[in-house]
Structure 1
Amino acid sequence: MLINETKERTWHGPVKLADSFFKRFRGLMLVKNINYALVFILPAETKANASIHMFFMLSDIDVIWLDSARRVVDFKTARRWRLYAPKGPAKYIIEGPVGLIKTLDVEEGDLISWSPSEEKKKAVPVKVSLPDGLSFEKGTNGMALTESVREVRVESR
Protein backbone atom coordinates (compact mmCIF):
# COMPACT_ATOMS: atom_id res chain seq x y z
CA MET A 1 0.00 0.00 0.00
CA LEU A 2 1.19 3.52 -0.82
CA ILE A 3 0.01 6.51 1.23
CA ASN A 4 0.15 10.21 0.41
CA GLU A 5 0.28 11.39 4.03
CA THR A 6 -0.06 15.05 3.01
CA LYS A 7 -3.43 14.53 1.31
CA GLU A 8 -4.53 11.35 3.11
CA ARG A 9 -4.87 9.44 -0.17
CA THR A 10 -4.12 5.70 -0.38
CA TRP A 11 -3.32 3.29 -3.20
CA HIS A 12 -4.22 -0.23 -2.03
CA GLY A 13 -2.23 -2.24 -4.57
CA PRO A 14 0.69 -4.51 -3.75
CA VAL A 15 4.10 -2.92 -3.10
CA LYS A 16 7.47 -4.61 -3.64
CA LEU A 17 10.92 -3.32 -2.68
CA ALA A 18 13.92 -3.06 -5.00
CA ASP A 19 16.51 -2.92 -2.24
CA SER A 20 19.38 -4.81 -3.86
CA PHE A 21 21.52 -4.17 -6.92
CA PHE A 22 19.91 -6.96 -8.93
CA LYS A 23 16.34 -5.95 -8.05
CA ARG A 24 17.10 -2.34 -9.00
CA PHE A 25 18.82 -3.48 -12.21
CA ARG A 26 15.81 -5.59 -13.28
CA GLY A 27 13.16 -3.11 -12.15
CA LEU A 28 9.99 -3.49 -14.20
CA MET A 29 11.71 -4.36 -17.47
CA LEU A 30 9.85 -7.00 -19.48
CA VAL A 31 6.99 -7.15 -16.95
CA LYS A 32 3.57 -7.60 -18.55
CA ASN A 33 0.48 -6.11 -16.91
CA ILE A 34 2.11 -4.10 -14.15
CA ASN A 35 -0.32 -4.31 -11.23
CA TYR A 36 2.02 -3.46 -8.36
CA ALA A 37 4.30 -0.63 -7.30
CA LEU A 38 8.05 -1.09 -7.01
CA VAL A 39 9.92 1.10 -4.51
CA PHE A 40 13.60 1.54 -5.38
CA ILE A 41 15.83 2.21 -2.38
CA LEU A 42 18.90 3.89 -3.82
CA PRO A 43 22.35 3.74 -2.17
CA ALA A 44 22.70 7.54 -2.16
CA GLU A 45 20.51 10.61 -2.63
CA THR A 46 21.65 12.01 -5.98
CA LYS A 47 20.12 13.18 -9.21
CA ALA A 48 22.34 10.96 -11.39
CA ASN A 49 21.61 7.74 -9.44
CA ALA A 50 17.89 8.49 -9.62
CA SER A 51 17.81 8.71 -13.42
CA ILE A 52 15.83 5.95 -15.08
CA HIS A 53 15.51 4.47 -18.55
CA MET A 54 12.42 2.97 -20.12
CA PHE A 55 14.23 0.59 -22.49
CA PHE A 56 12.72 -2.92 -22.73
CA MET A 57 9.55 -1.79 -20.96
CA LEU A 58 6.34 -3.35 -22.23
CA SER A 59 4.12 -0.48 -21.06
CA ASP A 60 4.23 3.09 -19.76
CA ILE A 61 4.41 3.63 -15.98
CA ASP A 62 3.95 6.35 -13.38
CA VAL A 63 7.17 7.37 -11.59
CA ILE A 64 7.52 9.32 -8.34
CA TRP A 65 10.92 10.50 -7.07
CA LEU A 66 11.34 11.12 -3.31
CA ASP A 67 14.17 12.64 -1.27
CA SER A 68 15.56 11.03 1.91
CA ALA A 69 12.71 12.58 3.93
CA ARG A 70 10.20 10.83 1.56
CA ARG A 71 9.08 14.19 0.08
CA VAL A 72 8.16 14.24 -3.62
CA VAL A 73 10.85 15.98 -5.69
CA ASP A 74 9.39 15.05 -9.10
CA PHE A 75 6.80 12.79 -10.76
CA LYS A 76 5.67 11.92 -14.28
CA THR A 77 4.16 9.30 -16.52
CA ALA A 78 7.17 7.70 -18.19
CA ARG A 79 6.85 6.56 -21.80
CA ARG A 80 8.64 3.57 -23.29
CA TRP A 81 12.09 3.94 -24.88
CA ARG A 82 12.97 7.24 -23.18
CA LEU A 83 15.31 8.48 -20.42
CA TYR A 84 14.17 10.44 -17.35
CA ALA A 85 15.96 12.34 -14.59
CA PRO A 86 14.29 13.99 -11.58
CA LYS A 87 14.35 17.77 -11.03
CA GLY A 88 16.32 17.28 -7.81
CA PRO A 89 18.28 14.58 -5.93
CA ALA A 90 16.26 11.50 -4.91
CA LYS A 91 16.81 8.61 -2.49
CA TYR A 92 13.66 6.65 -3.43
CA ILE A 93 11.86 6.01 -6.71
CA ILE A 94 8.36 4.59 -6.89
CA GLU A 95 7.38 2.98 -10.19
CA GLY A 96 3.87 1.69 -10.74
CA PRO A 97 0.97 1.40 -13.14
CA VAL A 98 -0.31 4.47 -14.99
CA GLY A 99 -2.94 6.10 -12.75
CA LEU A 100 -0.91 5.80 -9.56
CA ILE A 101 -0.05 9.52 -9.54
CA LYS A 102 -3.69 10.47 -10.02
CA THR A 103 -4.93 8.06 -7.33
CA LEU A 104 -2.47 9.49 -4.77
CA ASP A 105 -3.08 13.07 -6.03
CA VAL A 106 0.71 13.61 -6.03
CA GLU A 107 2.27 17.10 -5.99
CA GLU A 108 5.82 18.22 -5.28
CA GLY A 109 6.50 18.36 -1.54
CA ASP A 110 3.93 15.66 -0.61
CA LEU A 111 5.03 13.11 1.99
CA ILE A 112 4.71 9.54 0.68
CA SER A 113 5.02 6.34 2.71
CA TRP A 114 4.62 2.68 1.83
CA SER A 115 3.94 -0.68 3.35
CA PRO A 116 5.47 -3.59 1.40
CA SER A 117 3.20 -6.53 0.64
CA GLU A 118 4.10 -9.90 2.09
CA GLU A 119 5.76 -12.05 -0.51
CA LYS A 120 4.73 -15.67 -0.60
CA LYS A 121 7.62 -18.01 -0.04
CA LYS A 122 8.28 -20.72 -2.60
CA ALA A 123 7.22 -24.23 -1.63
CA VAL A 124 10.01 -26.67 -0.89
CA PRO A 125 9.31 -30.32 -1.75
CA VAL A 126 9.81 -32.75 1.11
CA LYS A 127 9.58 -36.53 1.33
CA VAL A 128 6.83 -37.78 3.58
CA SER A 129 6.47 -41.37 4.72
CA LEU A 130 2.92 -42.62 4.32
CA PRO A 131 1.18 -45.31 6.37
CA ASP A 132 1.19 -48.78 4.80
CA GLY A 133 -1.45 -49.12 2.13
CA LEU A 134 -1.37 -45.48 0.99
CA SER A 135 0.33 -44.35 -2.17
CA PHE A 136 0.37 -41.40 -4.52
CA GLU A 137 0.72 -43.70 -7.52
CA LYS A 138 -2.13 -43.53 -10.04
CA GLY A 139 -4.94 -45.99 -9.55
CA THR A 140 -3.38 -48.03 -6.72
CA ASN A 141 -5.90 -47.00 -4.11
CA GLY A 142 -9.03 -44.93 -3.76
CA MET A 143 -7.29 -42.30 -1.64
CA ALA A 144 -9.09 -39.00 -1.16
CA LEU A 145 -7.57 -35.74 0.04
CA THR A 146 -8.13 -35.10 3.73
CA GLU A 147 -7.63 -32.18 6.10
CA SER A 148 -5.35 -34.03 8.50
CA VAL A 149 -3.54 -37.35 8.83
CA ARG A 150 -5.83 -38.37 11.71
CA GLU A 151 -8.71 -38.68 9.24
CA VAL A 152 -6.94 -41.19 7.00
CA ARG A 153 -8.19 -44.74 7.41
CA VAL A 154 -6.42 -47.59 5.68
CA GLU A 155 -8.61 -50.48 4.65
CA SER A 156 -7.00 -53.88 4.40
CA ARG A 157 -7.51 -55.75 1.17
Structure 2
Amino acid sequence: MITNETKGKTWHGTVKLADNFFKRFRGLMLVSNVNYALIFVLPAETKANASIHMFFMLSDIDVIWLDSARRVVDFKTARRWRIYAPKKAAKYIIEGPVGLIKTLEVEEGDLIDWTPTEEKGRTVPVKSLIPGKIDLNGSKNGIAMVESVKEVKAKEI
Protein backbone atom coordinates (compact mmCIF):
# COMPACT_ATOMS: atom_id res chain seq x y z
CA MET A 1 0.00 0.00 0.00
CA ILE A 2 1.30 3.45 -0.93
CA THR A 3 -0.22 6.58 0.59
CA ASN A 4 0.01 10.21 -0.43
CA GLU A 5 -0.27 11.63 3.10
CA THR A 6 -0.59 15.19 1.79
CA LYS A 7 -3.70 14.41 -0.27
CA GLY A 8 -5.06 11.46 1.70
CA LYS A 9 -4.98 9.21 -1.40
CA THR A 10 -4.03 5.52 -1.24
CA TRP A 11 -2.99 2.92 -3.80
CA HIS A 12 -3.87 -0.56 -2.49
CA GLY A 13 -1.57 -2.66 -4.66
CA THR A 14 1.32 -4.94 -3.81
CA VAL A 15 4.50 -3.14 -2.70
CA LYS A 16 7.96 -4.72 -2.81
CA LEU A 17 11.30 -3.29 -1.65
CA ALA A 18 14.51 -3.15 -3.67
CA ASP A 19 16.78 -2.56 -0.71
CA ASN A 20 19.97 -4.30 -1.81
CA PHE A 21 22.25 -4.16 -4.84
CA PHE A 22 20.83 -7.22 -6.59
CA LYS A 23 17.18 -6.19 -6.21
CA ARG A 24 17.98 -2.65 -7.41
CA PHE A 25 19.99 -4.05 -10.34
CA ARG A 26 17.12 -6.31 -11.46
CA GLY A 27 14.39 -3.75 -10.84
CA LEU A 28 11.45 -4.26 -13.17
CA MET A 29 13.49 -5.30 -16.21
CA LEU A 30 11.86 -8.05 -18.26
CA VAL A 31 8.68 -7.98 -16.15
CA SER A 32 5.88 -8.48 -18.66
CA ASN A 33 2.98 -7.32 -16.50
CA VAL A 34 3.94 -4.66 -13.97
CA ASN A 35 1.09 -5.07 -11.48
CA TYR A 36 2.99 -4.08 -8.33
CA ALA A 37 5.11 -1.18 -7.09
CA LEU A 38 8.81 -1.51 -6.42
CA ILE A 39 10.43 0.90 -3.95
CA PHE A 40 14.15 1.42 -4.45
CA VAL A 41 16.03 2.33 -1.28
CA LEU A 42 19.18 4.02 -2.57
CA PRO A 43 22.50 4.02 -0.69
CA ALA A 44 22.85 7.81 -0.97
CA GLU A 45 20.64 10.77 -1.79
CA THR A 46 21.99 12.06 -5.12
CA LYS A 47 20.74 12.78 -8.63
CA ALA A 48 23.25 10.36 -10.16
CA ASN A 49 22.19 7.42 -7.93
CA ALA A 50 18.55 8.19 -8.65
CA SER A 51 18.81 8.16 -12.44
CA ILE A 52 17.10 5.21 -14.11
CA HIS A 53 17.14 3.52 -17.49
CA MET A 54 14.24 1.87 -19.23
CA PHE A 55 16.32 -0.58 -21.29
CA PHE A 56 14.91 -4.11 -21.43
CA MET A 57 11.59 -2.92 -20.03
CA LEU A 58 8.55 -4.60 -21.55
CA SER A 59 6.12 -1.81 -20.64
CA ASP A 60 6.00 1.84 -19.58
CA ILE A 61 5.83 2.61 -15.84
CA ASP A 62 5.10 5.48 -13.48
CA VAL A 63 8.13 6.71 -11.52
CA ILE A 64 8.14 8.88 -8.38
CA TRP A 65 11.39 10.21 -6.89
CA LEU A 66 11.46 11.06 -3.16
CA ASP A 67 14.06 12.75 -0.97
CA SER A 68 15.16 11.36 2.42
CA ALA A 69 12.14 13.01 4.07
CA ARG A 70 9.87 11.09 1.63
CA ARG A 71 8.85 14.31 -0.17
CA VAL A 72 8.26 14.11 -3.93
CA VAL A 73 11.08 15.79 -5.86
CA ASP A 74 10.01 14.60 -9.34
CA PHE A 75 7.62 12.18 -11.07
CA LYS A 76 6.73 11.04 -14.59
CA THR A 77 5.52 8.21 -16.76
CA ALA A 78 8.72 6.61 -18.06
CA ARG A 79 8.74 5.25 -21.60
CA ARG A 80 10.72 2.22 -22.77
CA TRP A 81 14.30 2.56 -24.06
CA ARG A 82 14.97 5.95 -22.45
CA ILE A 83 17.04 7.32 -19.56
CA TYR A 84 15.61 9.53 -16.78
CA ALA A 85 17.10 11.59 -13.96
CA PRO A 86 15.15 13.49 -11.30
CA LYS A 87 15.15 17.30 -11.06
CA LYS A 88 16.64 17.10 -7.54
CA ALA A 89 18.54 14.51 -5.48
CA ALA A 90 16.49 11.51 -4.37
CA LYS A 91 16.86 8.76 -1.74
CA TYR A 92 13.84 6.64 -2.80
CA ILE A 93 12.36 5.76 -6.17
CA ILE A 94 8.90 4.29 -6.56
CA GLU A 95 8.32 2.41 -9.82
CA GLY A 96 4.87 1.05 -10.53
CA PRO A 97 2.18 0.51 -13.14
CA VAL A 98 1.01 3.40 -15.28
CA GLY A 99 -1.82 5.08 -13.36
CA LEU A 100 -0.06 5.08 -9.99
CA ILE A 101 0.72 8.82 -10.21
CA LYS A 102 -2.88 9.64 -11.14
CA THR A 103 -4.35 7.45 -8.37
CA LEU A 104 -2.16 9.13 -5.72
CA GLU A 105 -2.66 12.60 -7.30
CA VAL A 106 1.10 13.17 -6.96
CA GLU A 107 2.57 16.68 -7.02
CA GLU A 108 6.03 17.93 -6.09
CA GLY A 109 6.38 18.37 -2.33
CA ASP A 110 3.77 15.72 -1.42
CA LEU A 111 4.66 13.40 1.47
CA ILE A 112 4.53 9.74 0.42
CA ASP A 113 4.53 6.69 2.71
CA TRP A 114 4.34 2.96 2.02
CA THR A 115 3.81 -0.38 3.67
CA PRO A 116 5.60 -3.28 1.96
CA THR A 117 3.47 -6.34 1.28
CA GLU A 118 4.66 -9.29 3.35
CA GLU A 119 6.24 -11.95 1.20
CA LYS A 120 5.61 -15.50 2.24
CA GLY A 121 8.81 -17.46 2.44
CA ARG A 122 9.12 -21.01 1.23
CA THR A 123 9.26 -23.67 3.90
CA VAL A 124 11.99 -26.22 3.61
CA PRO A 125 12.04 -29.31 5.81
CA VAL A 126 15.26 -29.45 7.78
CA LYS A 127 16.52 -32.24 10.00
CA SER A 128 17.75 -30.79 13.25
CA LEU A 129 18.66 -32.17 16.62
CA ILE A 130 18.49 -29.68 19.44
CA PRO A 131 19.47 -30.79 22.96
CA GLY A 132 16.45 -31.17 25.26
CA LYS A 133 14.07 -31.45 22.31
CA ILE A 134 12.31 -34.37 20.69
CA ASP A 135 14.11 -36.31 17.96
CA LEU A 136 11.64 -37.43 15.31
CA ASN A 137 14.27 -38.50 12.79
CA GLY A 138 16.35 -41.26 14.41
CA SER A 139 13.76 -43.28 16.29
CA LYS A 140 12.16 -46.30 14.58
CA ASN A 141 9.47 -46.94 17.19
CA GLY A 142 8.41 -43.46 18.15
CA ILE A 143 9.89 -40.46 19.83
CA ALA A 144 13.24 -40.23 21.59
CA MET A 145 14.54 -37.37 23.72
CA VAL A 146 17.90 -35.90 22.82
CA GLU A 147 19.78 -35.05 26.00
CA SER A 148 22.95 -33.57 24.57
CA VAL A 149 24.84 -33.00 21.35
CA LYS A 150 27.52 -35.45 22.57
CA GLU A 151 24.85 -38.18 22.84
CA VAL A 152 23.77 -37.53 19.24
CA LYS A 153 27.36 -37.57 17.98
CA ALA A 154 28.01 -40.84 19.87
CA LYS A 155 24.99 -42.48 18.17
CA GLU A 156 26.26 -41.46 14.73
CA ILE A 157 29.69 -43.12 15.27
Match of 1:113 in 2: 113
2:14 alignment counterpart: 14
Cα shift readout 1:87-125 (whole Å, capped 9, x = no counterpart) = 000000000000000000000000000000000111325
3-state SS of 2:22 partner = helix
Residues 126 and 108 from structure 1, CA distance in 2 versus in 1: closer, same or farther, beyond 3 angstroms?
same
Cα distance in 1 for residues equivalent to 2:79 and 2:8: 28
CA RMSD of aligned residues (A): 1.3
Give the aligned partner of residue 130 of structure 2.
Answer: none
Q: Percent identity?
A: 83
**3-state SS of 1:123 partner:** coil
Does residue 51 (structure 1) correspond to residue 51 (structure 2)? The answer is yes
1:102 and 2:102 are equivalent in the alignment: yes
Partner-residue secondary structure (3-state), 1:31: coil
In structure 2, what is the Cα distance between the partners aligned to 1:61 and 1:106? 15
Moved over 4 A (4+): 125-129
Work out the CA distance in 1 between the residues paired with 2:61 and 2:16: 15
In the alignment, residue 70 of structure 2 is paired with which amino acid? R
Distance 2:15 2:2 in 1: 7
> TM-score, normalised to structure 2's length?
0.79
* 1:38 equivalent in structure 2: 38
Question: Which aligned pairs between 1:1-157 and structure 2 lie closer than 5 A?
Answer: 1-125=1-125
- Distance, in Å, in 1 between the alignment partners of 2:116 and 2:38 is 9
Give distance in 1, aligned partners of 2:90 and 2:31: 24
- Unmatched segments (≥5 aa) in structure 2: 128-135, 138-157
